[in-house]
Chain A
Amino acid sequence: MKILGISAHYHDSAAALVIDGLPVCAVQEERFTRHKNDAAFPLLAIEWCLKNASVEPESLDAVVFYERPMLKFDRILTCALRAFPHSWRAFPAAMKNSLGEKVWVRGIISSHLGVPGRKILFTEHHQAHAATAFLTAPTRHAAILTTDGVGEWATLSVGEGERFQNGATKITLLREIKFPHSLGMLYSTFTAYLGFPVNEGEYKVMGLAGYGRPTMVDKVRKLIHRTPDGAFKLDLSYFDFHTTAESSYSSRFVELFGPPRNLYEPIDLETSEGQRFADCAASVQRVLEDTLVDITRALHKETGLPDLCLGGGVALNGLANARILAESGFERAFVPPAPGDAGCALGAALCADRIHFGNPDREVPDHPFWGPSVDGSELARLAGEDGYAFDECEDDALIEQTADDLAEGRIVGWMDGALEFGPRALGHRSILAAPHSAAMRDRLNREIKYREEFRPFAPVVPIEVADRYFELPPGGRRLARFMSGVFPVRPEWRSRLEAITHVDGTTRLQALERATAPRLYDLLQAYERRSGIPVLLNTSFNLAGEPIASRVVEGYSTFLRSGIDVLVVGSTRITKRESLLTKTKEAVA
């Protein structure tokens, strides 16, 4: 049975193809269009998935969209009515937006792919999140928590998933919290207040939180109240996101927290203003964590299950995930590599396969590499055309050479095999560097990532020795598999791992199994033979504002435009020498 899953129209659209119960490919549209978090209908991603699997659209058994468009429209219209007359500005834009395209999803899919309308199915948004979280996790019976900004109406859902001995699968969502009461929107409101782009800058808030103290927790608690049944509600007088698209917070919010940051002014943590913003970030982070811990603790008590599957954009918050693991009572927490909306494409397809069609459960491979692959010969061609010397060598020699480069302080662009699905570079599209000195972190921020100084870098370490360098609680290794948890660096190693140790002594590590990315694993071991530590700094292969490089030519252009010293694609390696670009300009001028 061939099932195509699609997520689109909000942010980070994606397509995923499931054949006979197993994912075959999954990729975000941004990786083709090169527009970060591209929300457009993912035509290029769909085309690639179908072509890669040699599937004609007419042979698809079903196409599954990741939410119910009419239910979402119901929410948009209802919110506009409830906010009358304050919603008069937002109403025309919302209607044009919805009625122009978003409610006609069945027709759009049908016309693009030529599949009949009866083959087009719809999951609920949080059902797709739950399916992504549970059906890709190696567990038979688990509690499920999905949290994000908003889907149709739900902003947070809890439930259970179970795989039975006879191959049947069941996902039951038990209850939900409805819009506008939303943990994701609370966090996003602070993201906007702190001058970062919503749905993109939440990582920055989390990074900034490390520099602050949660001195404003009481103020944040004025915004979110716990209800007697253990849920929460927002005090909507502090927010505007439910009435207008132009602003997330109200004037009352500004009265409480002070003036917002101008997005063009960098945060200077040496000033009281900069510290205020950091304290704001730390405070909302604390309240988010406390709320999630309370909800998951109650869920654990209710279900009595040892495993918890987390889905939705909020599951990208590694600090919160680590606290949930430590304090909720669950023994293991599973976060898929793409817990956000992009991952819903895969979740929707798997949900249709297991739940709608009732196909027997199959174990989903436990890795994130479902995108297009790279070929070293392509780099050789590009380098040859541009007059760059390149090496093509055997794996062992290449890994030893790359380890030498890293040990000598060079920064390496690393492209290997299939692209990761999800926002994180997990060893196939990475920029690697020695993790030891703060100077390396500063160099990466300054010459390569062009990003704020307060943002931390993550390490990758073989899973077997992760405990030696990092304080992992029971279950921590699993959370660290896809960089989903933030854990302390052991104090005795912090001075030797400065580049990946955040100001609060933590890091968001990736614990790597050899089977997941064997060449990177071998590189870690080769690096250990030189430095004594099998840890590398691993950051995504992109520059600020760009999606992760997918094709070789994108990695190559990133290499040329930045301070990356060495580029490795498959078995091909090039190093930087004099700037060919300058020569080209002079020659042409």
Chain B
Amino acid sequence: MSVMHSSLAHFRPTGFDRMLAPIHRWVWRDSERRVQKLLRFGQTETDGGHDILRAAEMTSDPLLRRLYLKHAIDEYRHGELFRRRGTALLHTLPSKPEPAFQADWLAPGGHGLDDLHVEDESDNDLLAFLHLSEKAAASRFTVYRDVLRNDGPTCAVFEEILHDEVFHMSYTLTQLARVSPQHHRRHLWRARLGRLWKGYLRIATVLAGAMGTLFLIVQYFILLPPFVLLAKRAARREQPGWTPISADRNGSLDRQY
């Protein structure tokens, strides 16, 4: 345990995260946003737990299986800690929070913006991914803890979770060096590039999605109105209640409509 405490004491957030501290402070200042973020973090940690549990069930390495299992249990516990704190704060709010701008890109949770497809990853790649992911989370959580000093219980939640994150960061690196002593640095670099690539894909997907949405909304208002009249007229003619099924509908399986 002392090893973990000293690691935590020496852990410093990245320069980038430190630079964003004022933004994080702004993000977390709003009580409603804080509640929703904590509840969302709860879900993110639980989802991360599912992924790591899956890794435990997929690996053929007994030591990794045990470590992944422990890691998954930690993630589930973190989810519960976030949920409990979020729920406690929820009760203190004068009104129920409405879904609002959450600034998730600015203050992401445990595994942040990364996707994880456990089935497609080797132990080497997965350990490298987890190491970087935990390191990034530890860096962000350190900043969150620091900007939440005025909210003791929430700060304590981050403090507690940080202990585990530092352990996760450490074991994933140790194990990566064990399972791939010659190439563990290469795996880490590949994982870094993979994170960048996934980030790019995510941005591209969001942009493409936004363009597609815009295009479809334009079509909706320009092309659809004539058909709307027909559809609404047909709806008015439709009688509620039973509709008989014609005999030929019970027959052919060849058609899609």
B-contacting residues of A (Cβ < 8 Å)?
33-35, 64, 68-71, 74, 78, 80-82, 84-85, 88, 91-93, 95-96, 105-106, 121-124, 127, 157, 159, 171-178, 181, 227-233, 259, 262, 264-265, 351-352, 355-356, 385-386, 545-546, 551, 553-554, 557, 560-561, 580-582, 584-585, 588-589
Contact = CB atoms under 8 A, between A and B. Distances in A.
A264 B231 contact: no
Given A88-B221, A92-B220, A385-B62, A176 B256 contact: no
Interface in B43-96: 46, 50, 53-54, 56-57, 62-63, 65-67, 69-70, 72-73, 76, 83, 86-87, 90, 96
10 contacts: A70-B257, A91-B220, A92-B212, A92-B220, A96-B213, A122-B253, A122-B255, A177-B243, A265-B90, A545-B50
A92 B213 contact: yes
A122 B253 CA distance: 5
A557 B73 CA distance: 10
Contact of A557 (B56, B175, B220): B56
Interface in B176-234: 209, 212-213, 216-217, 220-221, 224-225, 227-228, 230-232
Contacts of B96: 259, 262
B217 A584 contact: no
Given A171-B250, A177-B243, A584 B257 contact: no
A581 B66 contact: yes
A443 B124 CA distance: 39
B3 interface: yes
B15 interface: no
Contacts of B220: 80, 84, 88, 91-92
B254 interface: yes
Nearest to B253: A121
Chain B contact-residue range equals: 35 or more
Given A68-B257, A589-B167, A557 B70 contact: no
A560 B57 CA distance: 12
A350 to B, nearest CB: 12
Contacts of B76: 561
Max chain B Cβ within 10 angstroms of own Cβ: one of A123, A262, A352: A262
Contacts of A557: 53, 56-57, 69
Given A92-B220, A546-B50, A581-B69, A351 B253 contact: yes
Max chain A Cβ within 10 angstroms of own Cβ: one of B65, B67, B167, B245: B245
B253 A227 contact: no
B253 A174 contact: no
Contacts of A95: 216
Contacts of B72: 561
B217 A92 contact: yes
B114 to A, nearest CB: 17
Given A88-B217, A557-B56, A172 B250 contact: yes
A124 B224 CA distance: 28
A174 B53 CA distance: 48
Contacts of A91: 216-217, 220
A560 B69 contact: yes
A386 B241 CA distance: 62
A173 B1 CA distance: 67
A237 B255 CA distance: 35
Contacts of A385: 62, 65
Interface string B134-176: 0000000000000000000000000000000001001100110
B245 A92 contact: no
Given A81-B232, A91-B216, A122-B253, A176 B174 contact: no
B237 interface: no
A386 B69 CA distance: 12
A262 B70 contact: no
A230 B235 CA distance: 21
Max chain A Cβ within 10 angstroms of own Cβ: one of B1, B217, B240, B243: B240
B116 to A, nearest CB: 12
B253 to A, nearest CB: 4
A228 B252 CA distance: 32
A460 B175 CA distance: 45
Contacts of B53: 34, 557, 561
B253 A173 contact: no
A69 B255 CA distance: 10
B193 to A, nearest CB: 27
Nearest to A122: B256
Interface of B: 1, 3-4, 39, 46, 50, 53-54, 56-57, 62-63, 65-67, 69-70, 72-73, 76, 83, 86-87, 90, 96, 119, 167, 170-171, 174-175, 209, 212-213, 216-217, 220-221, 224-225, 227-228, 230-232, 235, 238, 240-245, 247, 249-257
A177 B212 contact: no
Contacts of B228: 81-82, 84
Contacts of B250: 127, 171-173, 355
Contacts of B57: 34, 551, 553-554, 557
A33 B76 CA distance: 19
A262 B90 contact: yes
Contacts of A356: 252-253
A84 B229 CA distance: 10
Given A34-B54, A264-B83, A580 B66 contact: yes
Contact of B253 (A82, A84, A352, A545): A352
Given A34-B57, A96-B212, A264-B90, A71 B257 contact: yes
B170 A589 contact: yes
B231 A229 contact: no
Contacts of A259: 96
Contact of A177 (B167, B242, B256): B242
Max chain B Cβ within 10 angstroms of own Cβ: one of A82, A96, A105, A589: A589
Contacts of A589: 1, 3-4, 167, 170-171
B195 to A, nearest CB: 23
Nearest to A81: B231
Contacts of B253: 64, 121-123, 351-352, 355-356
B50 A82 contact: no
Nearest to B254: A121
B70 A585 contact: yes
B242 to A, nearest CB: 4
Max chain A Cβ within 10 angstroms of own Cβ: one of B57, B67, B247, B252: B57
A545 B70 contact: no
Nearest to A561: B73
Contacts of A33: 119
B53 to A, nearest CB: 6
Contacts of B170: 589
Contacts of B50: 34-35, 545-546
Given A91-B217, A231-B241, A557-B57, A386 B212 contact: no
Given A68-B257, A181-B240, 16 more contacts: A34-B57, A68-B255, A70-B256, A71-B256, A84-B225, A93-B213, A172-B250, A174-B244, A176-B245, A554-B57, A560-B69, A561-B53, A584-B66, A585-B167, A585-B171, A588-B171
Nearest to B119: A33
A375 to B, nearest CB: 16
Contacts of A181: 240
B15 to A, nearest CB: 28
